[in-house]
Amino acid sequence: MDELVFRFLLDCGYPRASIVDELELLAVSGTGDGVDTPTEATGPDIAILDPETLERLAVFRTVGPLDPDGLSAETETLARFARQFGGHAVQGFLVRIDPQADLAEESVRFYRVRHDPTPEDPMPEYVPAHAVPDLDTLRLRLRLIAWSDAVSPVTPVLADPDEDEEAFDLEGMPIESTGFERAPSARPGAAVWLPGLVLTGLALADLFLARPVLDAEQALLAIGAGTLLFWAVLVRRR
């Protein structure tokens, strides 16, 4: 493993336990595409693992000052290894080192490898040094991928149980909404039905008093008014 990359990862906050350079300790499975498992000469220099869960997060490979064709070939090789190493959840990075570069920022350049490079776009994606993901970013990416795989791509739309059923006329044809339908009324409270109940109760009680305040006709009218009011409230509650 290149000492420069190792120091860079430590500066990025990677714990030493997450940087694994003994890749022979990690099993690499085939992809079923007829490609042999990469050898040590073509494999990455280091792997990034979650030190708590041992989940595989990323692989880094250091290369020299390659031309575009050489960089494209390395991209394809590392992409194949990343798929075999941990599926699409593992991110691959190429570190191109050119000690003879005229500019300091050109001496070390990081590239993110696409998992499925195509002949039309075989080049990796350039990533500035400050944008190389840290351990927490790789952990979050793994969780997002797991969540995305668990969610069905097509979510059925369920009918709203509170939605009113479509109205039909006598001939069975749906009635178009005019926008002026009466909204369902709220259930009345005690302030609405209590006056009718009190009025009826007072009129009935007045009939049995020794000295009634209301005469028979007035009591009858009060009972009738209270009964009608109370009945209207009961009908509205249904």
**Mean residue pLDDT across the chain:** 74
Q: Which of 1-15, 63-77, 122-136, 191-205 has the lowest mean pLDDT?
A: 191-205
pTM for this one? 0.56
pLDDT (0 to 100) of residue 168: 52
Strand order in the sheet with 108-113: 19-20, 46-49, 56-63, 91-97, 108-113, 125-127
pLDDT (0 to 100) of residue 190: 58
Give the tokens for residue 123.
């080049």
Task: Quick: pLDDT tens for 93-119.
Answer: 999 988 888 777 778 899 998 777 666
Task: Quick: pLDDT tens for 206-232.
Answer: 666 655 666 666 666 667 776 766 666
pLDDT band at 22 (very low <50, low <70, confident <90, very high): confident
pLDDT (0 to 100) of residue 35: 42
Rounded-to-integer distance, Cα 90 and Cα 23, Å: 15
Note whether 82 and 73 are within 8 A (CB): no
Task: Quick: pLDDT tens for 26-54.
Answer: 776 544 444 444 444 457 889 999 999 99
Higher pLDDT, 191 or 83: 83
Q: Give the closest residue to 89 by CA, choosing from 125, 151, 140.
A: 140
- pLDDT of 88 strictly over 60: yes
pLDDT (0 to 100) of residue 36: 44
Domain boundaries of the chain, sorted by first residue: 3-149, 190-237
pLDDT (0 to 100) of residue 44: 85
CATH 3.90.1570 for domain 3-149: yes
